């Protein structure tokens, strides 16, 4: 199969298991490309890709940009903070302007849920959602799934706990949608005020108690907690949050044998994760970053009409 | 000048008429309803309109429309809003005061009333604000507002958050026997919400507005209406819990009425899943159980009337990211078709009940002599073609607000002709304006 029928990648909610598998499988040889001395394949030569980030980001934007470059695409970045957006240009006009310059792929991050969906309806470019508001962050979930699969050999039947601010997390949502399609048992762990309404109807189990939530799991995915949430009155203090939800080495022992730990970064050490654990052997944080480039290469390649068998492992 | 509306089904709920008969209009007033003596004879000075297959009703009344003038004429003005009303089958509309400046004094209220008379298409009744500048701090000068023509007061768009001010408003309004129209929303609870809070807000990743944000304020306002004896009218009721509170308040004898909008009666929060901002409205579209409860409550009579909450917006406020979009639906020109197609033809509502919800019921809430075909009353008449099938096309709207969530939807049952004080203001799909 290939991606011929797919114009955009807006989320994992509406993506099939087969499509996800294809991306993950294609990312395996892509990771080898990154490790080569000469990190360049001609797959996307002559294709243009632009990243437009309405929210700050270092790793995701750079990751997409390098992924494009390793595939020989011409990449460019619109620095929103210094662009005509600051002169009051509408999203629609900005996107149309970019489109007229001819790129094939638009990688977009926006603070508002559904903004990429709106853009996708209004452009001929292929749109990749690099995170929209509190909705989805599909490539983060894909790289998480790739990292888990690489370490565990499979996704099938694994127990995965996602810990933190589930309510505001696009990473959590995309992970829930993706992992559920592979028969994973997904748990969400965090304070009751940071749980989305009726979250269990997505087929996950919620836990307010960290130890209970992570006991016996294969994977712990720790989310970043944002200080603004405290100001909104959602929890009393970062100190109390850390007391209740900070992952420490002893927690990994509670989880299953060989449990691994993920974090989408950037980490708040001493708040949601202890330094000892952040640097521990079962923590995949750095591996995730490399895998992120590989997964994004696979995605760009497939979206531009590439086939899995064209990339030699 | 006589006008004979012949052969249509006349539905006049207040007078218990629901039969095929004639309506005779003379000098702008209803002259008679029924078999007209000598109707076969001398018709030289009588214009006869064949209404066979049509439904002839008292003119429809909308308690809740935003005409945006003065101040926001790029969204709508009194002329375009009046045209939209006529095309939508409404002969009387109430204009909400959240303009710029706010209708919080006699001068601005007088401007709205005067401008509406100049335009002269439909009756426009101004609503004054409850508080000065709709700031929720000090009462507006209600005596002056009433004198300038205001039929109610409202801070619509937001709640009067201070309970003491709301208490005084309900109390003070008693002296003028006007209702206080309350937009019920605890803004601390709705906060940055963008859609109904529930399973779908989780799935779509949008900030939720809990049903309780509305219900808490309705509870409070019902209690204050009890305390003061004031007349309370709840705008755009949208939740199951609200209905239960209103039911109990009515049973207790509290003077409370409420309206529901066509969109809350026909759409669910699933519509928001496309992030298309034309679905963004406040109160938000609710989930199925709430919509079902609302439909049951219009049929049972717990909901007193249907009002549009016509909220036109400029295209830039809707053709954008969902989060950046303005709240509101352009509703005047689709309300009747939605009621006919989604409530009457589907047998949720009997035809005569639906007509009552749009005529005699809102007239009673305002205490005005409209909403019936009683002889000697002004001949405000709405005629519906119950079988006309048409697709909603916002490009054909008279309103400047081209933001209906029903674009492309095929509906059966549309306004066919609208008469205000005996003058035809809408027929054959076109608004007829006075030649000045």
User: Quick one: which of B93, B100, B4 has its CA closest to B45?
Assistant: B4
Question: Which ranges of B267-374 would DSSP assign to H, the alpha helix?
Answer: 288-300, 335-338, 351-358, 360-366
- Best of A133, A166, A177 to substitute, by most chain B Cβ atoms within 10 angstroms, is A133
A208 phi, psi to nearest 5 deg = -95, -20
Please give the Cα distance from A302 to A296 (Å, whole number).
10
**Residue A126 DSSP one-character state:** E
- Give me the CATH number covering residue B294: 3.20.20.140
Give percent of chain B above pLDDT 70: 98
Please give the Cα distance from B332 to B313 (Å, whole number).
13
**Residue A13 annotated among the catalytic residues of the structure:** no
User: Quick one: which of B333, B233, B334, B247 has its CA closest to B294?
Assistant: B247
Are B268 and B315 in contact by the 8 Å Cβ rule? The answer is no
Query: End of a domain among B317, B347, B366?
Result: B366
pLDDT of residue A226: 84
Is residue B371 in some structural domain? no
Does B320 contact A202 at a Cβ distance shorter than 8 Å? no
Each residue's pLDDT tens digit, A3-33: 777 899 999 999 999 999 999 999 999 999 9
Contacts of A134 in chain B (CB under 8 A): 205-207
B201 and chain A: CB distance < 8 Å anywhere?
Answer: yes
How distant is the Cα of A132 from the closest Cα of chain B, in angstroms?
Answer: 9
- B368's CB contacts (< 8 A; 6+ apart) are B92, B125, B151
Is residue B174 in some structural domain? yes
- Give me the CATH number covering residue B43: 2.30.40.10
B81 and chain A: CB distance < 8 Å anywhere?
Answer: no
Please give the Cα distance from B110 to B126 (Å, whole number).
9
Please give the Cα distance from B343 to B354 (Å, whole number).
8
**Residue A263 annotated among the catalytic residues of the structure:** no
B349 and B381 inside one domain: no
HSE (CB half, 13 Å, CA atoms) of B47?
Answer: 10
Six token digits for residue B296: 């049951």
List beta partners, residue B65.
B95, B310
B322 and chain A: CB distance < 8 Å anywhere?
Answer: yes
B393 and B293 inside one domain: no
Report in angstroms the alpha-carbon separations of B299 from A74, B244, B295, B356.
62, 15, 6, 11
Does B275 contact A114 at a Cβ distance shorter than 8 Å? yes
Please give the Cα distance from A278 to A270 (Å, whole number).
10
Is residue B219 in some structural domain? yes
Residue numbers of B between 208 and 247 with CB closer than 8 Å to A: 208
- A3's CB contacts (< 8 A; 6+ apart) are A19, A22, A302, A303, A305
CA-based angle B322:B328:B329, to the nearest 5?
A: 105
Please identify every residue of B annotated as catalytic: 309
B36 and B153 inside one domain: no
pLDDT at A313 over 60: no
B128 and B145 inside one domain: yes
List beta partners, residue B391.
B410
Give B287's pLDDT tier (boundaries 50, 70, 90). very high
Q: How many CB pairs under 8 A join A and B?
A: 69
Nearest to A135 among B198, B204, B319 (CB): B204
CA-based angle A178:B193:B103, to the nearest 5?
A: 155
Query: End of a domain among B366, B386, B418?
Result: B366
B242 and B336 inside one domain: yes
Please give the Cα distance from B274 to B200 (Å, whole number).
12
Domain of B160 in residue numbering reads as: 59-366
Are A15 and A69 in contact by the 8 Å Cβ rule? The answer is no
Are B410 and B96 in contact by the 8 Å Cβ rule? The answer is no
Please give the Cα distance from A300 to A61 (Å, whole number).
14
B427 and B286 inside one domain: no
Mean pLDDT taken over chain B: 96
**Mean pLDDT (whole number) for A48-64:** 94
CA-based angle B76:B166:B142, to the nearest 5?
A: 60
List beta partners, residue B95.
B65, B126
Does B204 contact A113 at a Cβ distance shorter than 8 Å? yes
Each residue's pLDDT tens digit, B85-128: 999 999 999 999 999 999 999 999 999 999 999 999 999 999 99
* Residue showing tokens 């002839």: B56
Report in angstroms the alpha-carbon separations of B256 from A73, A162, B81, B248, B296.
66, 48, 28, 10, 19
Are B340 and B390 in contact by the 8 Å Cβ rule? The answer is no
Each residue's pLDDT tens digit, A213-239: 999 999 999 999 987 788 888 999 999
pLDDT of residue B133: 98
B50 and B65 inside one domain: no
Does B199 contact A201 at a Cβ distance shorter than 8 Å? yes
Is residue B372 in some structural domain? no
Please give the Cα distance from A171 to A149 (Å, whole number).
17
Question: Count of CB atoms within 10 A of residue A311's CB?
Answer: 22
Does A113 contact B275 at a Cβ distance shorter than 8 Å? yes
B129 and B214 inside one domain: yes
Please give the Cα distance from A206 to A199 (Å, whole number).
8
Six token digits for residue A248: 């420490």
- Overall domain count for chain B: 2
B84 and B8 inside one domain: no
Is residue B337 in some structural domain? yes
Give B38's pLDDT tier (boundaries 50, 70, 90). low
Question: Which ranges of chain A would DSSP assign to H, the alpha helix?
Answer: 17-35, 59-70, 91-100, 115-121, 138-152, 170-180, 210-214, 228-231, 238-245, 249-254, 275-278, 285-303
Each residue's pLDDT tens digit, B308-359: 999 999 999 999 999 999 999 999 999 999 999 999 999 999 999 999 999 9
Please give the Cα distance from B309 to B329 (Å, whole number).
8
- A247's CB contacts (< 8 A; 6+ apart) are A163, A210, A220, A222, A261, A272, A273, A274, A277
pLDDT of residue B47: 92
Is residue B96 in some structural domain? yes
B63 and B48 inside one domain: no
A165 and chain B: CB distance < 8 Å anywhere?
Answer: no
Give B43's pLDDT tier (boundaries 50, 70, 90). low
pLDDT of residue B363: 98
**Mean pLDDT (whole number) for B392-396:** 95
Residue numbers of B between 262 and 301 with CB closer than 8 Å to A: 274-277
B164 and chain A: CB distance < 8 Å anywhere?
Answer: no
pLDDT at B236 over 80: yes
Are B160 and B166 in contact by the 8 Å Cβ rule? The answer is yes
ipTM score for this prediction = 0.93
B43 and B99 inside one domain: no
pLDDT at A306 over 90: no
CA-based angle B386:B390:B393, to the nearest 5?
A: 135
B197 and B227 inside one domain: yes
Query: End of a domain among B345, B366, B387?
Result: B366
Instruction: Using only the alpha carbons of chain A, give its radius of gyration.
Output: 19
Nearest to A117 among B194, B274, B316 (CB): B274
Is residue B436 in some structural domain? no
pLDDT at A84 over 80: no
Does A115 contact B202 at a Cβ distance shorter than 8 Å? no
pLDDT at A1 over 70: no
């Amino acid at each position: 199969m290939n991606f011929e029928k797919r114009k955009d990648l807006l989320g994992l909610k509406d993506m099939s298991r087969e499509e996800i598998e294809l991306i993950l499988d294609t990312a395996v040889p892509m990771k080898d490309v990154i490790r080569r001395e000469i990190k360049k394949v001609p797959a996307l030569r002559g294709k243009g890709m632009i990243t437009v980030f309405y929210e700050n980001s270092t790793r995701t934007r750079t990751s997409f940009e390098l992924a494009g470059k390793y595939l020989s695409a011409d990449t460019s970045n619109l620095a929103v903070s210094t662009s005509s957006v600051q002169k009051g240009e509408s999203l629609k006009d900005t996107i149309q302007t970019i489109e007229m310059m001819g790129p094939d792929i638009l990688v977009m991050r926006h603070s508002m849920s559904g903004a990429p969906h709106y853009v996708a309806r209004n452009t001929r470019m292929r749109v990749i959602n690099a995170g929209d508001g509190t909705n989805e962050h599909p490539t983060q979930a894909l790289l998480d799934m790739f990292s888990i699969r690489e370490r565990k050999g499979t996704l099938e039947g694994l127990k995965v706990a996602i810990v933190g601010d589930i309510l505001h997390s696009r990473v959590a949502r995309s992970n829930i949608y993706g992992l559920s399609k592979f028969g994973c048992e997904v748990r969400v762990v965090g304070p009751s005020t940071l749980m989305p309404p009726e979250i269990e109807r997505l087929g996950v189990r919620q836990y307010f108690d960290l130890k209970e939530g992570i006991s016996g799991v294969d994977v712990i995915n720790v989310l970043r907690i944002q200080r603004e949430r405290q100001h909104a009155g959602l929890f009393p203090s970062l100190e109390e949050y850390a007391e209740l939800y900070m992952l420490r080495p002893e927690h990994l022992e509670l989880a299953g044998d060989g449990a691994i730990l993920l974090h989408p970064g950037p980490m708040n050490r001493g708040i949601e994760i202890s330094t000892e654990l952040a640097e521990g052997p079962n923590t995949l944080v750095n591996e995730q970053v490399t895998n992120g480039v590989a997964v994004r290469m696979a995605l760009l390649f497939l979206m531009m009409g590439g086939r899995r068998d064209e990339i030699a492992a | 000048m006589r006008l004979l509306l012949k052969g249509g089904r006349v539905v006049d709920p207040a007078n218990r008429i629901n039969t095929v008969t004639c309506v005779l209009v003379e000098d702008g007033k209803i002259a008679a309803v029924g078999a007209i003596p000598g109707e076969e004879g001398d018709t030289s000075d009588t214009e006869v309109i064949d209404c066979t297959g049509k439904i002839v009703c008292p003119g429809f009344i909308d308690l809740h429309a935003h005409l945006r003038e003065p101040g926001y004429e790029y969204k709508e003005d009194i002329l375009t809003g009046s045209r939209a009303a006529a095309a939508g089958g409404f002969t009387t509309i109430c204009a909400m005061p959240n303009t710029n400046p706010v209708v919080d004094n006699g001068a601005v209220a007088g401007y709205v009333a005067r401008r509406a008379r100049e335009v002269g298409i439909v009756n426009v009744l101004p609503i004054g604000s409850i508080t000065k500048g709709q700031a929720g701090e000090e009462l507006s000068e209600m005596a002056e507002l009433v004198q300038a023509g205001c039929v109610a007061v409202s801070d619509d768009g937001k709640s009067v958050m201070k309970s003491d001010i709301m208490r005084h408003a309900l109390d003070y309004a008693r002296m003028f026997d006007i209702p206080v129209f309350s937009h019920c929303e605890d803004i601390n609870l709705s906060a940055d919400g963008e859609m109904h809070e529930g399973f779908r807000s989780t799935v779509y990743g949008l900030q939720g507005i809990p049903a309780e944000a509305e219900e808490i304020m309705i509870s409070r306002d019902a209690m204050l209406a009890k305390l003061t004896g004031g007349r309370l009218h709840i705008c755009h009721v949208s939740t199951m819990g609200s209905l239960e509170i209103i039911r109990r308040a009515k049973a207790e004898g509290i003077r409370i009425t409420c309206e529901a909008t066509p969109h809350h009666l026909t759409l669910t929060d699933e519509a928001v899943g496309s992030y298309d901002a034309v679905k963004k409205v406040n109160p938000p579209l609710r989930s199925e159980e709430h919509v079902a409860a609302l439909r049951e409550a219009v049929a049972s009579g717990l909901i007193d009337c249907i009002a549009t909450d016509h909220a036109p917006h400029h295209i830039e406020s809707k053709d954008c990211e969902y989060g950046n979009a303005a709240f509101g639906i352009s509703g005047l020109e689709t309300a009747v078709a939605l009621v006919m197609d989604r409530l009457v033809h589907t047998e949720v509502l009997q035809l005569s009940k639906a007509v009552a919800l749009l005529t005699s019921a809102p007239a009673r809430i305002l205490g005005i002599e409209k909403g019936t075909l009683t002889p000697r009353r002004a001949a405000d008449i709405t005629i519906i073609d119950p079988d006309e099938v048409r697709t909603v096309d916002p490009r054909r709207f008279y309103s400047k607000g081209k933001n209906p969530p029903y674009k492309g939807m095929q509906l059966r049952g549309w306004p066919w002709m609208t008469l205000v004080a005996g003058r035809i203001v809408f027929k054959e799909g076109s608004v007829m304006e006075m030649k000045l």
